[in-house]
Structure 1
Amino acid sequence: MKSVSAFSSLIKDDLPEDVLGGLNAAITQLDWKSSTRVLLHIGDYPPHGRRFSNIRDKYPNGDPYGLTAESVLKMMQSKNILYFFGRITSHTDTMLQIFHNIIGEFPVFDLVGGDPIKLIEKFIKATSSSITYAVSLTSTIGSSSKDIYTLQRKKLDMNPNEPNWNILPLQEGVVMWYHILNTLEELKDPNYFNKSNLFSKSFSFKIASQPFSAGVEKYAYFALDMPTKKMVMKEYLHVGQGDLFEKYLEAIEISTIASFLSTEFNLIAKRKNISKVNFLNVKLLRCGTIDFCTRYYTIEPRLQNTEYKRFNTNTGVITELRPTLEAFVHFTYEYTKGYLVVCDLQGIEHNDEFLLTDPAIHCIDPLRFGRTNFGKEGIKQLFLANHRCNDICKKLKLNRINNGLSADDAAV
């Protein structure tokens, strides 16, 4: 990771800064060879030009060297560099709106505040969040994909408010799900998860016209399981080619396996006075006709109005350390005898329970669980090499992991 620490202002007696020159230098002078490319820009004043502000400016017609926001940001976009901004003052608000219009939505961190200690804490959190988001995005869709900015563009159409359900049409579809697993052998058998083992039933619902949120892979919509049960429906970004139906089945398979392993974990956790780990009951919804008009969603109960957190990622980054969840990941590895680990744990936490959704799985079978499965190397490099056993691991009597090896592997 490299940084461009400072750029001289073109002039000293006005407030706008050489923002475009600084961004252009960062984009063109750094090598950007890493697959994860993050540009975290922290600023208190906008670029030169009346387009960005009406404050005192020696260059009211814009950058004296002819740089434009469009040319600089499009170049950044062409190099698949993910842009993040740290907002110190309101003077940059117009600039941010212009930047949004050019490249779509991007994360903006609020760094306003006079306390230097709190500012440092905010800066560290902003930096960590930027890297975590970028690693997750590029590991999912690839650093060379043109779709790396699709998510940001879609966010311009977000609506975080629950809709007026009375004016939305009632729709019909079919929900599908797999029966809960009974044994480890069923879990390891990819043939268990085929279309013939799907259960289904008709389903009446309403869905918001705009998503309220977006993750790395999916949009999330408010929905109603008629007449009144509040749900969330999620739709893939449609990145890449392939059978869309199979992609949704894959998500249901991952959810079914995570739920089975959490049930096994909770049987032991209850006896050991350890917090429970549960996953939402996720199903596949098909609506429309079975042709090009067909749409698919995953559908799950809506989480309570509690802070949603991402605790760890499928790239090995721990964003919110919770010993119980790290022990759960360890448990999935040991219970399946090294076949897989469940990771990318996110959701909400209560006093005695974690309620999670959208996990990922690393598995020694590279043909299962989609592109977030990094296979045997993912287990070795992103779990075994990073995991540090804690008191919960000891309570569960899990084999200790040392230097990237389980106790069994180390003994060989």
Structure 2
Amino acid sequence: MSRILFHIGDAPCHGKRFHLDCGDDYPAGDPRGLNITDLMKGLAEKNINYYFAEINNTTVKMIDEFSNELTSLNGNKINVLNLGAVDDLTELVTASVVKTISESKSISMHSMRGKKMRTIAVDKSYLTWNKDKMKSLNAVLYTAVFTGGVEDIRHQSIEFVKENVRLLIAEKPFAKGAIRFAYTGFLNGSERSVLKQSASLDPEHNTMEFYKEMIETQVISKVLTDKFFEIIELKKKVNFLEVNLIKIDETGEYFTIEKYVPGEFVKWMNNCGVLNEDIYSCTLGRNFYK
């Protein structure tokens, strides 16, 4: 079932935490005793998709605070929409409903559906690369190697070269996707890395074979992408990160590991193949015929 909260606001709620000096008569918070953590917990537990129609910039801090509460509770990210005029409202609501149904359909198709999931609080502050908040562990790094081309995909295996490494990894994840938690870390003390662990507690999703399958998909995608851009000769290119496998000596846990890439990111496709049509990209959205 798809659940949507569509919130329209031209002013922030009570409490100085939620605004920048808006002349609040109740700076200590809601006079009825409403608590933002309890309210957001209810949204997270019911898996409600929260859309906020922004009329002016006085509500920016409020939504930031709401978002921090929701993400700390593993709730859905708040979708902020700009409501320029009343005439735009029907279009905004319709687009929000369509997007939510599409995402719900994707989740229902997902391999993790019905699985028991890890309950871990996400904390964005762990993206600060503070080594004092990291555990130091011995680990084995398995580097994925594929020397063939497109014509070799069907019959040539991907090899995994093994080496012992020292790993620093944050105590808490800074983000969570549909199937994995993401942690900051340092490989051999210096290289900033992102480590991802399965969100499922199912033994099937915590084996070396499961992680190798994910990595093999990334490797083959890179081979196909390189061939694609070799044929069409565009200046722009799509690159796939090199993803490898880590096994922690002390616990036997598995993670994928990749280099940290800073910047703002847009998700173009989810794990079930649903495309992001909100932002146009000539490189990612165009069909080429040879």
Q: Fold match, TM over 0.5? A: yes
Gaps of 5+ in 2: 14-28
Q: Are the counterparts in 2 of residues 86 and 126 from structure 1 also a CA contact under 8 Å?
A: no
Q: Give the corresponding residue for 2:266.
A: 309
1:188 maps to 2:149: no
Q: Give the corresponding residue for 1:288.
A: 249
Change (3 A) 1:208 1:69: closer
AA paired with 2:283? T
Change (3 A) 1:182 1:43: same
Q: Give the corresponding residue for 2:7.
A: 42
Alpha-carbon distance in 2 for matches of 1:110, 1:154: 25
Change (3 A) 1:104 1:220: closer
Q: Give the corresponding residue for 1:273.
A: 234
Q: Are the counterparts in 2 of residues 84 and 130 from structure 1 also a CA contact under 8 Å?
A: no
Alpha-carbon distance in 2 for matches of 1:233, 1:183: 27
Equivalent of residue 235 in structure 1, options 197, 204, 209: 197
Per the normalisation by structure 1, the TM-score is 0.52
Map residues 333-352 of structure 1 onto 2, 5 A cutoff.
Answer: none
Map residues 135-150 of structure 1 onto 2, 5 A cutoff.
Answer: 135-141=105-111, 147=117
Give 1:312 deviation, angstroms.
2.8
Give 1:181 deviation, angstroms.
4.2
Change (3 A) 1:110 1:273: closer
Larger Cα Rg: Structure 1 or Structure 2? 1
Q: Give the corresponding residue for 2:226.
A: 263
Give 1:322 deviation, angstroms.
2.0
Give 1:132 deviation, angstroms.
5.1
Alpha-carbon distance in 1 for matches of 2:221, 2:182: 20
Change (3 A) 1:86 1:138: farther
Give 1:123 deviation, angstroms.
5.9
Give 1:250 deviation, angstroms.
0.8
> What secondary structure sits across from 1:310 in the alignment?
coil
Alpha-carbon distance in 2 for matches of 1:170, 1:241: 25
The number of residue pairs the alignment matches comes to: 264
Q: Are the counterparts in 2 of residues 265 and 277 from structure 1 also a CA contact under 8 Å?
A: no
Alpha-carbon distance in 2 for matches of 1:158, 1:61: 28
Percent of pairs with identical residues: 17
Gaps of 5+ in 1: 1-31, 47-51, 55-59, 63-67, 328-388, 398-412
Per the normalisation by structure 2, the TM-score is 0.70
Alpha-carbon distance in 2 for matches of 1:263, 1:252: 17
> What secondary structure sits across from 2:212 in the alignment?
helix
Alpha-carbon distance in 2 for matches of 1:170, 1:131: 43
Alpha-carbon distance in 1 for matches of 2:281, 2:108: 25
Change (3 A) 1:179 1:318: same
Map residues 92-241 of structure 1 onto 2, 5 A cutoff.
Answer: 104-111=74-81, 115-116=84-85, 120=89, 130-131=100-101, 133-141=103-111, 147=117, 154-166=120-132, 168-184=134-150, 186-189=152-155, 192-193=157-158, 197-241=159-203
1:298 maps to 2:260: no
Q: Are the counterparts in 2 of residues 282 and 299 from structure 1 also a CA contact under 8 Å?
A: yes
Alpha-carbon distance in 1 for matches of 2:93, 2:3: 15
Alpha-carbon distance in 2 for matches of 1:202, 1:102: 34
Change (3 A) 1:143 1:209: closer
Q: Are the counterparts in 2 of residues 311 and 322 from structure 1 also a CA contact under 8 Å?
A: no
Q: Are the counterparts in 1 of residues 49 and 78 from structure 2 also a CA contact under 8 Å?
A: no
Change (3 A) 1:128 1:207: farther
Alpha-carbon distance in 1 for matches of 2:161, 2:234: 35
1:247 maps to 2:210: yes
Give 1:217 deviation, angstroms.
0.9
1:321 maps to 2:280: yes
AA paired with 2:282? P
Change (3 A) 1:263 1:244: same
> What secondary structure sits across from 1:312 in the alignment?
coil
Give 1:86 deviation, angstroms.
2.2
Alpha-carbon distance in 2 for matches of 1:185, 1:287: 35
Give 1:230 deviation, angstroms.
1.2
Q: Are the counterparts in 2 of residues 105 and 156 from structure 1 also a CA contact under 8 Å?
A: no
Alpha-carbon distance in 2 for matches of 1:202, 1:210: 24
